[in-house]
A = this chain, B = another copy of it.
Amino acid sequence: MKFEKLVGEHFREKPSDCVVDSHALMVRGGYIKYVANGIFSSYMPLRRITKKIEQIIREEMDVIDGQEVQFPVVMPASLWEESGRYESIGKELMRFKDRNNSPLVLGMTHEEAAVQLVREYAHSYNNYPFMIYQIQTKFRDEARPRAGLIRVREFTMKDAYSFHTSQEDLEQYYDKCHKAYERIYERAGLPEVISVASDSGMMGGSISHEFMLLTPIGEDSIVICNECDYRANMEASECIVNNKKDEVSEELKLVHTPDIHTIEDVCKFLNTDESKSCKAVVYQRNHDDSYVVLFIRGDYEVNETKLTNYLGCDIHPAVITEECGLNAGYIGPYNLKGDFTVLFDRSLENTNNLSCGGNVEEYHYTGLDIARDIENVEFNDFAKIKEGGICPCCGKPAITISRGIEVGNIFQLGTKYTKSMNMTYTDSNGEAQHPIMGCYGIGVGRLAAAICEAHHDEYGPIWPMSVAPWQVHLCAVRADNAEVKAYADKLYEDLKAKGAEVMYDDRVVSAGVMFSDADLLGIPLRVIVSPRNMKQNIVEISSRDKSFSDSIPMDSACDKIIETINSFK
């Protein structure tokens, strides 16, 4: 491929609307083009990268006996009604109607389609286990697409579905797939990806893992224990708080706190620590706007995923109206009257001498002892774990929290879909059973962006050889020099003939322009033919990551370059 023929826009400066490096570099280097919010077209360099990633994924799925199939992008709503998700999933699921007014959806995941494909096939236990997968476009009507290819609305995903006759068999396969994922990231140049326990969210099921690239620009908070192997998404991480009561419980006392609304101000006013306060956080259920009042220790935050899972429905931060019976800024657990769901986080267990809202305008209580003052309290885990917190696995206060990009996930789904969609097989005793499912996803474009995020410098991406759009960037510096041009032309043809993927820049431009364009294309090996080099009878070869550079004799350059490409594998 000649550089001058490569279709795509290039920008010298970082576009103002790009907040993460991979987004900026992909726009600057002519990888992606904005089409609509969360929707991009890919130019050739990115398409070559995603094809290579897809092929790595495909090979590793085939190793674990996956059968590549293809589900539709557009599905009838009826299929999603069977599983109950047509109702339960929010606006992310794109719903519309065809010319005959039949309701359709755009696939954002394909559990329903997978069950539909195999439920008439897999009637006997002999058919099990099996795994089917596809690599296909998906659409998810995200409220807030961001960060280029990190969070989009339309994306290409590998999604795999396995079917089993026992939990043990699922777990064995789940482990196999976990290892296949590790190989995929390794091969794609991201061995640093870690797996963390995760929340199963809308997928259902219990055990699930996410594969995370740790990076400050990640959207997820990852909980890591420095003392043991514990790694989890904060959404799924248990928060343990060991309180010790003060020896003497003070009396409950109503205190005038004029013009004070936040827990911080209350603690400042009362000269106590936030950990000695009981904070109210109020939500409303999405479906009926009913109120949920959650009390939590003042220095902890609510983990809304845990709360949603506990309630079994979606929620949003409450709008506290005059009529609702709550005194915004003064809500406390003592003497709280009204028809609310009232919940207590475990961070309040075994506490006393707390300050809290007085449920009266401009008044707070001090001296709250929940066990003494409130009846029928049940504590549950709704809090976000904190830096330095207690590890739920080893019990040591060794938690650190990092940011991460999710680049894959695997779920043990159980029988959620096979039961609801009435898929059965006959077991060896002749009994009808629902198969147990697992599902396994990797977003291709996001993985490409994550690779770029992990491997770039200020000048451009540094693509690993395994996914690079081309293997060698051949620069003919001073291509207007006939000898340079002739030698470089021949080297280009020779390299191609030996199977190398070569980007050839023979434009008559300055070396500076040529090299900065090459930096943006991020090809791992660079070869420079120039008049000065030719005088010394050499060709310069260097790696994009600057880990090496070398001079090689002109007459053996082709073989040496091929050798170097192979050494990257």
Chain A residues within 8 Å of B, Cβ to Cβ? 4-9, 30, 33, 35-37, 39-44, 46-48, 50-51, 65, 67-76, 79, 91, 94, 96-99, 102, 104, 106, 113, 116-118, 120-122, 126-127, 130, 132, 134, 136-137, 139, 141, 143, 153-154, 156
Contacts and interface: CB of A to CB of B under 8 A. Distances in A.
Interface residues of A, dominant DSSP? mixed
A312 to B, nearest CB: 23
B33 A141 contact: no
Contacts of A122: 7
A81 to B, nearest CB: 13
Contact of A121 (B9, B73, B97): B9
Given A41-B69, A75-B39, A113-B35, A132 B7 contact: yes
A48 B62 CA distance: 12
A74 B141 CA distance: 11
A156 B4 CA distance: 31
A558 to B, nearest CB: 22
18 contacts: A5-B65, A5-B67, A7-B122, A33-B116, A33-B117, A35-B72, A36-B74, A39-B75, A39-B76, A40-B72, A43-B69, A44-B68, A47-B70, A94-B96, A98-B153, A99-B143, A136-B137, A137-B137
A184 to B, nearest CB: 19
Contacts of A74: 36, 39, 94, 106, 139, 153-154
Contacts of A79: 35
Nearest to A153: B74
A95 to B, nearest CB: 8
A98 B145 CA distance: 13
A139 B73 contact: yes
A131 to B, nearest CB: 9
A446 to B, nearest CB: 15
Contacts of A68: 44, 47-48, 51
Contacts of A30: 121
Contacts of A40: 72
B106 A99 contact: no
A70 B154 CA distance: 12
B121 A36 contact: no
Contacts of A37: 102
Contacts of A97: 96
Nearest to A96: B96
B65 A116 contact: no
A39 B72 contact: yes
Contacts of A137: 73, 136-137
B141 A98 contact: yes
Nearest to A42: B70
A43 B117 contact: yes
A35 B116 contact: yes
A407 B9 CA distance: 34
Given A67-B6, A106-B74, A99 B141 contact: yes
A36 B141 contact: no
A384 B135 CA distance: 45
Contact of A116 (B41, B70, B76): B41
A349 to B, nearest CB: 40
B73 A47 contact: no
Which 9 A-B pairs give the minimum distances between C-beta atoms? A96-B96, A36-B76, A44-B67, A42-B70, A91-B99, A39-B72, A41-B117, A9-B121, A47-B68
A74 B36 CA distance: 9
Contacts of A154: 72-74
Nearest to A30: B121
Nearest to A43: B69
A216 B191 CA distance: 56
A423 to B, nearest CB: 13
Nearest to A131: B7
A51 to B, nearest CB: 8
A6 B7 CA distance: 42
B73 A35 contact: no
A247 B120 CA distance: 73
B113 A7 contact: no
Given A7-B121, A73-B139, A96-B97, 19 more contacts: A7-B122, A7-B132, A35-B71, A35-B75, A35-B76, A35-B113, A36-B76, A36-B104, A39-B74, A41-B69, A41-B72, A41-B116, A44-B69, A50-B70, A74-B154, A91-B99, A96-B96, A98-B141, A136-B137
A41 B71 contact: yes
A75 B8 CA distance: 20
A448 to B, nearest CB: 12
Nearest to A44: B67
Nearest to A73: B137
Contacts of A139: 73-74
Contact of A75 (B7, B36, B127): B36
A244 to B, nearest CB: 48
A279 B276 CA distance: 96
A126 B167 CA distance: 63
A132 to B, nearest CB: 6
